[in-house]
Amino acid sequence: MEMKMFILDVVIAIVDTGIDANHVDLDGGKVIAWYDAVNGKTKPYDDRGHGTHVASIAAGTGEGDPGVQEGVAPGAALVGVKTLPGVGQTGDPRDTLKGLEWILANLDRYSIDVVNMSIGTTASYESRKEVINTINKIKARGVPVFVAAGNEGNDEPYYDTLSTYAKYTSTSVGNIKDPYEGGWGLAETSSRGADENVSYNKGPYVVLPGHNVRAAAANTGKEYVTLSGTSMATPMVSGVFALMYDAAYARGVSSSINFTVTDMGEDGFDKNYGNGRVLAYESIKDAAQESSGSFDTHRTYIRVPNGSVQKGNVDLYAIRVNSSAADLNATLLVLNEKAENLDLVIWAPGSNPYQGDPSSYWIRRNDGPPHEFFSLSNPPRGTYYIGVYGVEDSANYSLEITGHELTVN
């Protein structure tokens, strides 16, 4: 078998359903260690597929689709830790605990630098306390454990829906859409925190795209599958951290590793986006203490962090689209937590937003608050009016608008 070269100085542990180490993106010695808390098997496998998908997002080589399908840190090595069973079976938290305890005992042996845990639960803190304590013990050893924030954001009560693991550990990851998938903006299902005076986290730590992510399909050899969720956003963050680690420490730079983020939603830390979206390029550059270089997404990002609209009124934003080369996207989040009903409204170029019932002009709305969005493909150039309509309530909101060559009129 041909051996592939990996940056063994950077090792990511994947706590999940396993890893298919025969997929071309993950074979050739990339999986350097394995522990099966479920069935006790000694060789890597994945009888569910979730862990393989997650692992290839973090560190897949992209060999099955060269130049297109590389993971975030394709040179990193992997440690597979199977704690979830196959399709149709319910996971046992005791297996998750065994897997994390194995990692804690083997941090130095396998030089594990970051742990990815795309696992969620709505069970009580008391029933998951040992798992949470072990995550925090790993963190205390200087190894971050990135956990999925959860996928309950589109279900009532909408807010205070973070996974139990996300509520009680410090590095959970929320899911946003990128500009090719209707963003930048929070994915509807991404779990949210709360404003209440609670003893646990009030929001995720950071966010990155996890919507419609194509990655390795287990037990296919070289095929791929597209999945969505905070499970997909979490290995994005783990992969970025691995590259930051390599930039900072493998090259002898003695500095702490901190993500560089851009604020989204409300100003500062908030219950939807946490500290904001991780800027991968800037984070890696800062970890290496490099002063030169820049990255351009070729998208205009407009943020209204602290909007407020009265019942029956419309807040209007005039946006000039100067190029049809990319989608025009908008995401509205109702910041109140009492299911206030707002609608996102748009008037195409040439329409008069000051005449007629605003409800006759909206192009898309969701059935349940607090999330509204739209995405227009190849929008004609001109001035669009984007409105936030207080259908039945007064409420506070945040608004994200993304497109190509936008200006605020």
pLDDT at residue 254, as a whole number:
54
pLDDT beyond 50 at 2: no
Write out pLDDT tens, residues 333-390: 999 988 788 889 888 888 888 776 555 455 555 656 799 999 999 999 999 999 999 9
Q: Which two tokens stand for residue 317?
A: 């934003």
Q: Is 231 a catalytic residue?
A: yes
- What is the rounded average pLDDT of the residues 262-284? 97
Domains delineated in the chain: 7-287 (3.40.50.200), 300-408 (2.60.120.380)
In this prediction, residues 145-166 reach a mean pLDDT of 95
Helix (H, G, I), strand (E, B) or coil at 360: helix
Q: Is the pLDDT of residue 102 over 60?
A: yes
| Cβ atoms of 409 and 361 closer than 8 Å | no
Tokens of 236: 């994005």
- Given a cut of 60, whether residue 113 has pLDDT beyond it is yes
Express each pLDDT in 283-328 by its tens digit: 999 998 887 888 888 899 999 999 999 999 999 999 999 999 999 9
Burial profile 90-113: b = 16 or more Cβ within 10 angstroms, e = fewer: eeebebbbbbbbbbbebbeebebb
Residues whose CB falls within 8 Å of the CB of residue 373, separated by 6 or more in sequence, listed in order: 182, 185, 188, 329, 330, 331, 332, 344, 364, 366
Of 23, 50, 371, 404, the active-site residue reads: 50
For residue 16, indicate whether it is catalytic. Answer: yes
The 10s digit of each residue's pLDDT in 23-76 is 999 999 999 999 999 999 999 999 999 999 999 999 999 999 999 999 999 999
Query: What value does the mean pLDDT of the chain take?
Result: 92
Q: E strands within 280-336?
A: 300-309, 314-321, 328-334
pLDDT at 365: 55
Measure Cα distances from 196 to 44, 188, 250, 335, 337 in Å: 43, 21, 42, 12, 10
pLDDT at residue 364, as a whole number: 55
Where does residue 238 fall: left (phi above 0), alpha (psi -120 to 50 degrees), or beta otherwise?
alpha
pLDDT class of 151 with cuts at 50, 70, 90: very high
Catalytic residue among 16, 46, 246, 315: 16
Q: Confidence band (pLDDT; 50, 70, 90) for 88? A: confident
Query: Is 83 a residue whose pLDDT tops 90?
Result: yes
Find tokens 């006790």 and name the residue: 40
Is residue 14 very low, low, confident or very high in pLDDT (cuts 50, 70, 90)? very high
Over residues 188-231, the pLDDT tens digits come to 999 999 987 788 999 999 999 999 999 999 999 999 999 999 99
pLDDT digits (tens, 9 = 90+) for 389-403: 998 889 999 999 999
Confidence of residue 253 (pLDDT cuts 50, 70, 90): low
Nearest to 280 by CA among 267, 266, 293: 293
Q: Which of 92-96, 120-124, 226-230, 363-367 has the lowest mean pLDDT?
A: 363-367
CA dist 98 and 100 (Å) reads 6
* Residue of 228, 231, 283, 398 marked catalytic: 231
